[in-house]
Amino acid sequence: MSNTPSPTRNSLEAYWMPFTANRNFKDSPRLIESAEGVFFKTTDGRQVLDSASGLWCCNAGHCHPKIVEAIQQAAAGLDYVPPFQMGHPKSFELASRIADMLPGDLNYVFFANSGSEAVDSALKIALGYHNKRGEGSRTRLIGRSRGYHGTGFGGTSVGGMVNNRKNWGSLLPGTDHLPHTHNLDENAFSRGQPAWGAHLADALEDLVALHDASTIAAVIVEPVAGSTGILVPPQNYLERLREICDRHGILLIFDEVVTAFGRLGGGSASEVLGVQPDMVCMAKGMTSGTVPMGGVGIRQHIYDTYMETTPVGVELFHGYTYSGHPLASAAGLAALDVYQGEGLYQRAAELASYFEDAMHSLKDAPHVIDVRNLGLMCGVEIAPRQGAPLTRAFDTFLAAYEGGVFFRINGEVFAIAPPLTSDKSHIDQIVDGLRAALEKVD
Ligand code: PLP
């Protein structure tokens, strides 16, 4: 049994929870007391399987002893060092290890504290890069419809989810969006990268024709869109985006906040899919979700531009009080030790085909209209209830949680991304849990 006293409605009131139906949650809270491996333990003493690695973060499983120990030791030894004009060894070591993990000449790492900050940092670095090269007219930032790049003003502006955009005024000026790649008529129940859709990248040529390349700084996309329900890039789509960017001197940024650190069976989507971006945004799996941290992997030519055009003094007027924080750096190093020492990227790659077959077995479950997957990411999309969108997915989420499996829902999509430490029995439990919950809801 749990030692945690049951909360009262009032004791929950003060916390304005993010991206949550606050009143509903506080009326019937779902509180977690502890976690271990692939399981949460609720405050009422139940074990709940985590099918989403928390929020795409806990790739090494929860409370991995080696990461826990590294954090405990770091907290006791060095609480804080200013990251401006000062440093501590672990942040430099972590940058080197991440740069080694990233493909090509992504040789530099800038540290932030979240995915949102990583994205805003990358967008600013892109604008500064062009400015310093004498191409200051390149200010336009291009995102994609149904993209999610966090909640900063930059990330919101290039993001493409209407509820995240519509309340905050005009956002950044001079952004535009590519069309998304989701098309159930063409691609329903695809396994891996769908065959249809590479031509959608050509919309970037249309934006170049409309705005002129001389006004465009960067394109940012998630290689596999996560928060809008796992949109797997069509074959050759990312390659085509890369070609068009190269043709027009536009930087290509991959937002790999979800896909880096093993999710697709390698260090990054860039590596697994073989497309080299100019910058990579990271967070989440960077510390296996244990301590907030984000970062940007940056190619040599961008770093060189800043250095060469700034002969003395500060080259980049941007940073955070907690960039490369000692605790986060220690957690990041320990997470990499675990990923590499336990071969977790390889393990994810090996589990991916079992995961794919298991997930696609849900094709005949009630309400399911699509299953799509890549690596250890899968979206199971269900039909909305007539006249009551999102309610069926939410009721299914509640039924599954009661049944012992936690799912992350994005709209009408169950976004499944288990810890890389999962085994086949956990995958089976996820499939059975979702099917049982879908059978319970109308
Ligand atoms: N970018 C992507 C692709 C994400 O999925 C997320 C979060 O889910 C973010 C950025 C924002 O990260 P954070 O919530 O750490 O700010």
Confidence at 6, pLDDT banded by 50, 70, 90 = confident
Claim: this prediction has a pTM higher than 0.85:
yes
The pair of three-digit structure tokens given for residue 362, joined into one six-digit string:
């849900």
User: Sign (positive/negative) of CA torsion 406, 407, 411, 417?
Assistant: positive
Is 44 inside any structural domain? yes
Mean pLDDT throughout 307-329?
98
CA atoms within 13 A on the CB side of 394: 10
The verdict on the CB of residue 148 being under 6 Å from ligand 1 is: yes
Boundary residue ending a domain (281, 309, 341): 341
Q: Do 265 and 135 fall into the same domain?
A: yes
CA dist 98 and 92 (Å) reads 10
The pair of three-digit structure tokens given for residue 260, joined into one six-digit string:
């880096």
Closest ligand 1 atom number to CA of residue 150: 11
Is 330 inside any structural domain? yes
Q: Do 45 and 141 fall into the same domain?
A: no
Q: Do 187 and 309 fall into the same domain?
A: yes
Confidence at 212, pLDDT banded by 50, 70, 90 = very high
Q: Do 349 and 230 fall into the same domain?
A: no
Give 175-205 pLDDT, tens digit per residue.
999 999 999 999 999 999 999 999 999 999 9
Closest ligand 1 atom number to CA of residue 226: 5
Residue 158: which of 116, 107, 192, 196 has the closest Cα? Answer: 116
**Which residue puts its alpha carbon closest to atom 13 of ligand 1?**
115
Q: What is the domain range of residue 328?
A: 69-341
Ligand 1 center–CA 154 separation, angstroms? 12
Q: Do 121 and 201 fall into the same domain?
A: yes
Q: Do 326 and 375 fall into the same domain?
A: no
Q: Do 163 and 216 fall into the same domain?
A: yes
Give 377-414 pLDDT, tens digit per residue.
999 999 999 999 999 999 999 999 999 999 999 999 99
Is 3 inside any structural domain? no
Is 263 inside any structural domain? yes
Boundary residue ending a domain (341, 362, 390): 341
CATH code: domain of residue 97: 3.40.640.10
Q: Do 240 and 252 fall into the same domain?
A: yes
Ligand 1 center–CA 300 separation, angstroms? 25
Q: Do 412 and 290 fall into the same domain?
A: no
Q: Do 313 and 354 fall into the same domain?
A: no
What does pLDDT average to over the chain?
97
CATH code: domain of residue 367: 3.90.1150.10
CA dist 17 and 21 (Å) reads 8
Is 123 inside any structural domain? yes
For residue 181, give the amino acid letter: T
Closest ligand 1 atom number to CA of residue 294: 15
Q: Do 284 and 430 fall into the same domain?
A: no
Closest ligand 1 atom number to CA of residue 281: 1
**Which residue puts its alpha carbon closest to atom 12 of ligand 1?**
115
Boundary residue ending a domain (312, 341, 370): 341
Is 429 inside any structural domain? yes
Most ligand 1 atoms within 8 A of CB, residue of 227, 231, 264 to mutate: 227
Is 1 inside any structural domain? no
pLDDT at position 4? 65
Structurally, how many domains does the chain consist of?
Answer: 2
Residue 311 CA, chain-centre distance (Å), reads 36
The verdict on the CB of residue 302 being under 6 Å from ligand 1 is: no
Ligand 1 center–CA 118 separation, angstroms? 9
Closest ligand 1 atom number to CA of residue 227: 5
Q: Do 83 and 197 fall into the same domain?
A: yes
Is 56 inside any structural domain? yes
Query: Is 162 in contact with 254 (CB distance < 8 Å)?
Result: no
